[in-house]
Amino acid sequence: MKKLDNFSNCLSILRNADFKLAETNDIYRTGIIGQFNLTFELAWKALQEIMKLHGVEGSVTGSPREILQLAYKIGFLNDSAVWLLMLKKRNTSVHIYNEEEIDEMIMLIRDSFLPAFTGLEQILEEKLNEAENTWQ
């Protein structure tokens, strides 16, 4: 599935980020935050697509917040707090101007958001396999 592939490819790039280099290189820090934003966007869209394949009512349309809340409600996401924080940080990341906020964002990406993305990737692969197996 194209949306899941795009998410996985983008996540792979983020996983390979050198967070040590980000401590001293401003353009690299900006790149990590940009890659996070793209990964988040692709994550919720892949999530929405796979929920549609499963016939989840309410998944056809909706904002990222609505899709995330629905996914948590039906068990496609494990930790709604992390995902809602991710949404908030994605929405405010274009307005981060001071070093402390950038440091916090980089730390959140490394310590909380990457593990959440990885967990989602595994769940989506399982759910896609389930959907494909019911078609056969």
Residues of the chain with pLDDT under 70: 135-136
Q: Phi-psi region for residue 62, left (φ > 0), alpha (ψ -120 to 50) or beta?
A: left
Radius of gyration of the chain (CA): 15
| DSSP H helices in the chain | 2-15, 26-53, 64-73, 80-92, 99-108, 114-135
Predicted pLDDT at 131 = 87
Q: Which domain holds residue 110?
A: 2-135
Predicted pLDDT at 41 = 97
CA distances (Å), origin 66, targets 21, 30, 32, 45, 62: 36, 28, 26, 12, 6
Name the residue among 42, 15, 122 with its Cα closest to residue 77: 122
Predicted pLDDT at 96 = 86
- How many domains does the chain contain in total? 1
SS3 56: coil
Residue 65's CATH number: 1.20.120.330
Predicted pLDDT at 135 = 67
- Cβ-proximal residues to 131 (8 Å cutoff; 6+ apart), any chain: 50, 53, 54
Phi, psi of 79 (to 5 degrees): -130, 95
